[in-house]
Structure 1
């Protein structure tokens, strides 16, 4: 009996010791660390696990779109979403009455023009030239008459376009004694009916902010608030680019920014017609300086306003000076282009919560890349063989009214207009067709049944007018007439944002 009792007591003691050890182990276990909300920078931020001072927000969207475009628009499946000024430039056939295959003259800013880019007529000419030489092509051209204007045909690009777009953003912020330390980058990828495999992952934005300093790839500080249009508006520099900027906050929502930004000059160094019209023997020289940009911005409860300016250097060389030197010829030309802009966006909460009205205007001389979506016409100006290089002028304006019919249903009316002038005191070259003015109007209607989920439609109409410049002893380089092209289209979009 004593033996059984001792055995039971020993077993109890063993279990008690075991439970005590397990309790001690449980007490020593590492506590579980949960993600903590960070409300210092708005909704969606959280503290990075293991950090007590860095907040991160991950966001993005997935969008499916289905679009249709009308005739004569160069909205290719890989670049759908451009504005009216990306309509295919027309060309003059038999300019000035000079008949023959050589009478097809393309815009000097687009040396890649081929006969086949211009629909049935152009294809017919190209086929005849291939089968019967220039004589066959000339016979076809003769039937069109002198100064016949040939438009690009929408058959060179898809009129129905569908696809998806995915976007992912990372925004990390830390408060320091020097101010906010922020890093931001954004990835995007897309696929359409023209490229089933889609595009590779692209870095759209990537910059670091440290107090008043911004360094990296982002939107130009010249730009103002963007519209809700799916197509690119007028009056902004619509490409993201490397910047190095300093922003001084003056209080009460007022700030001033000075920024050094990548030059708006495009095309290879020494490439003919890079940022020139009818350049002849003139080519672009290398960029020496970045563009200088400055703005004054006010952001308060009533809305936002901004005035901005930009100055850019343009350098050209005359290739005629590398062969037989012409006495008195100008071999180089250094010119300055500039642009100014002003805009205001007013909150109209008295009409409905979230309503806004925006108007924005830009004027440029030489620096036409700051006019927005006029990429095919974003040259500096005109040049000729005797050393004259002059700047082309232009202006653009865009307006938008955005209205919430209900918290879940919103719509917008958006309109834009741009006009490009001729070079001061000089004509453009002969046998060219250059954009003179373009305008467009959009209508939108969106339904948001669930926060972050949008279903909407957008329709647009766009119109472009070109000046055609003649040739020959009688016509000279003067305008021989105006040419108009227009088209319409629409989008249906489904988008999930998070």
Structure 2
């Protein structure tokens, strides 16, 4: 009882001292908190970075893909071909913009992570885009201005498609004249090579073994575009483009061959139907076939028929000359909104590739076409479920060649934010 009384008394004294001390503590007004403010100058989704006049938008998407692609009709070892594949893709984008007296200053950065057991590398993490813009200047890793279909449309989930694809390291300037525009772009020519190894590998010409391979880059690709853009208010957009590309062998004494590509691209809005449009791109290339989508890997990764080909070959007559590969490609799509939530798209493309090698090898000539359709249903805002079917056919023109075809189908679930 005595100990309990002592503890209660000590507690009362402690509380009294604490209260008295608190009464003499200096009181300060809470400091103002700087809240994030919405930026309306550049459209929805932007906010001011605290303490700056720069507006930032963070966006992205996650995609889950599941598809089946039939093994080529005349393929050998079909049991070793993965016909069903799964893929998960995640992207996040950072878009920072500041309005200056000299125009808008912008930096754009997009990261991509992908898991795909069917790819050469199972899991990848890469920079998908990274560039800065100041007025009409663009510098960094971005879509080539030559490309029209790939960055603006390209509805295909899994089906292969043709035309200039992917991003390039470049520096370009665009002059705007009301709705008309003109762009000059200087681009890394190595990004536009149809394959890392070109001109043949250790081939025999006139009894002489010649080591193939591409030489170091001496000059960049030069790309020019002129166009007219009325998408915001009316009928659509149209552009004409051209590119110059250098081909150079790694072996001393070879001639340097210059290739080129020319093309047109455009879209037409159809106001008679809700959300209806037609978009297409067509190009002809001579010694610059990467602008047709030939060489390297397909962005969609689902083609089972192959897109092999290079920009130039060793000729049959002399080991010191190169012969250009040639071809043309057409790619397009048409879409409309069936309902407010359901969109339907039809797409198709055709590629002709002409690249005769030396006489001891069959030619690489082929014709290739793809047709398909797609539907997309918006379940709720930001969540879209889509399905796609397609047919592809490759018809080689070489010795003992056979037509190869395949069909495919798949679904994609996509969440955007």
Query: TM-score, structure 2 length as denominator?
Result: 0.82
Deviation at 1:389, TM superposition (A): 1.7
Query: Which residue is equivalent to 1:416?
Result: 349
- Cα separation, partners in 2 of 1:197 and 1:71, compared to 1, 3 Å: closer
Check if 1:356 corresponds to 2:277: yes
Q: Decide whether the 8 Å contact of 1:399 with 1:415 is kept in 2.
A: yes
1:285 Cα deviation after fit: 2.0
* Cα separation, partners in 2 of 1:332 and 1:399, compared to 1, 3 Å: same
- 1:230 is matched with which residue: 130, 138, 157? 157
Corresponding residue of 2:312: 381
The counterpart of 1:395, out of the listed 320, 328, 331, is: 328
**Is the 1:317–1:333 Cα contact (8 Å) retained in structure 2?**
no
1:487 aligned onto 2:406: yes
Structure 1 residues 25-174: aligned runs within 5 Å:
25-26=28-29, 29-51=30-52, 53-72=53-72, 151-174=75-98
Q: In the alignment, what sits opposite 2:3?
A: none
Instruction: Label 1:19 to 1:234 Cα distance change in 2 as closer, same or farther (>3 A).
Output: same
TM-aligned CA distance change 1:435 to 1:486, over 3 Å:
farther
Structure showing greater radius of gyration is 1
Residue matched to 2:301: none
- Shift of residue 349, structure 1, vs aligned partner: 2.7
SS for the counterpart of 1:483 is coil
User: Residue 265 of structure 1 aligns with which residue?
Assistant: 193
- 1:207-246 to 2 correspondences below 5 Å: 207-226=131-150, 227-231=154-158, 234-246=161-173
- Per-residue CA deviations over 1:396-436 (Å, capped at 9, x if unaligned) read 0012111100110001000000101245xxx6533325241
What's the CA shift string for 1:55-87, capped at 9, x where partnerless? Answer: 1110111111111010129xxxxxxxxxxxxxx
1:306, distance to aligned residue in structure 2 (A): 1.0
Shift of 1:240: 1.6
Counterpart selection for 1:181 from 95, 105, 115: 105
Conservation of the 8 A alpha-carbon contact between 1:258 and 1:293: yes
- Cα 1:194–1:399 change in 2 (3 A) is closer
Kindly provide the CA deviation profile for residues 288-310 of structure 1, in whole angstroms up to 9, marking residues without a partner as x. 00100011122112211111100
Equivalents in 1 of 2:291, 2:343: separation in Å?
A: 30
- SS in structure 1 opposite 2:145? coil
Separation (CA, whole Å) in 2 of partners of 1:312 and 1:64: 37
Distance 1:343 1:194 in 2: 33
1:162 and 1:193 in contact (8 A); partners too: yes
Partner Cα distance (2:76, 2:294) in 1: 19
SS in 1 for 2:256: strand
Looking at structure 1, the residues matched to 263 and 158 of structure 2 have their Cα atoms a distance apart, in angstroms, of: 20
Deviations 1:124-182 (A, max 9, x none): xxxxxxxxxxxxxxxxxxxxxxxxxx745443331110131111110100011111111
Q: Is 1:340 aligned to 2:262, yes or no?
A: yes
Equivalent residue for 1:288, pick from 190, 215, 218: 218
User: In the alignment, is residue 192 of structure 1 matched against residue 116 of structure 2?
Assistant: yes
For structure 2, the residue ranges without an aligned partner over 5 or more in a row are 1-18, 297-306
Q: Give the structure with the higher percent helix.
A: 1
Query: Aligned to 1:405, which of 330, 338, 347?
Result: 338
Provide closer, same or farther for how the CA distance between residues 193 and 289 of structure 1 changes in structure 2, counting only shifts above 3 A. closer
> 1:369 matched to which residue of 2?
290
Matched, 1:305 2:238: yes
Within the alignment, does 1:438 sit opposite 2:368 as a pair? yes
Q: Name the counterpart of 1:474.
A: none
Equivalent-residue separation in structure 2 for 1:49 and 1:152 (angstroms): 61
- Confirm or deny: 8 A CA contact 1:238 1:373 kept in the other structure: no
* Contact 2:199–2:313 under 8 Å retained in 1: no
> Structure 1's 152 and 290: CA in aligned 2 closer, same or farther, altered over 3 A?
farther
The total of aligned residue pairs comes to 374
Give the 3 Å change call, closer, same or farther, for CA 410–438 of structure 1 in structure 2.
Answer: same
Instruction: After TM superposition, give the deviation of residue 39 of structure 1 in Å.
Output: 1.3
> Secondary structure, in 3 states, of the residue corresponding to 1:359?
strand
The 3-state SS of whatever aligns with 1:369 is helix
Q: Is the 8 A contact 1:343 1:360 kept in 2?
A: yes
Question: Do the aligned partners of 1:232 and 1:238 also contact (CA within 8 Å) in 2?
Answer: no
Aligned counterparts of 1:152 and 1:179: Cα–Cα separation in 2: 59
TM-score after normalising by structure 1: 0.69
Q: 1:249 aligns with which of 159, 176, 181?
A: 176
- Alpha-carbon distance in structure 2 between the residues aligned to 1:304 and 1:266: 28
